[in-house]
Amino acid sequence: MLTIDTKKISFVIDTLIENAILYSKEEGKIIIDCVYDNEKIILFVNDNGIGLRPINKFMLFSKFYRGKRAKLMNTDGMGLKLYLSKEIIKRHKGKIYAKSKGKDMGSTFFIEIPFAK
């Protein structure tokens, strides 16, 4: 059984999809899927957008943080949605993280939420 606050988890998923759209190239490709095992469900959002430099991966979920390239592509952001997403997932006893092979190599964001025991 998975026990979640559906409105808050929807906010997190919407944030990841919105970011994939905002930071992907025109005609970009976005893949959304989930897998599960006996312990947790893992949802991921993969894009072929601007990617992440190693420093970005560590700072990404910090309050008010925005990478230089992200600021250039979307000037309206405040750097709060990923921070709030991290807090929401943490309160669900889960994890949120990102992987990327580097600049212009796209990125994949993961959400892991454990099943109730």
pLDDT per residue as tens, the chain (117 positions):
788 899 999 999 999 999 999 888 888 899 999 999 989 999 999 999 888 887 777 788 878 767 666 655 565 777 789 999 999 999 999 999 999 998 888 999 999 999 987
Q: What is the pLDDT of residue 65?
A: 67
Domain assignment of residue 40, yes or no: yes
Domain assignment of residue 1, yes or no: no
Look up the pTM and report it. Answer: 0.87
How many domains, in total, are found in the chain?
1
CATH, residue 82: 3.30.565.10
Q: Which residues pair with 45 in a beta bridge?
A: 32, 109
| Residue range(s) defining the domain that contains residue 64 | 6-114
Residue 77 CB-half CA count within 13 A: 22
Q: What is the pLDDT of residue 61?
A: 85
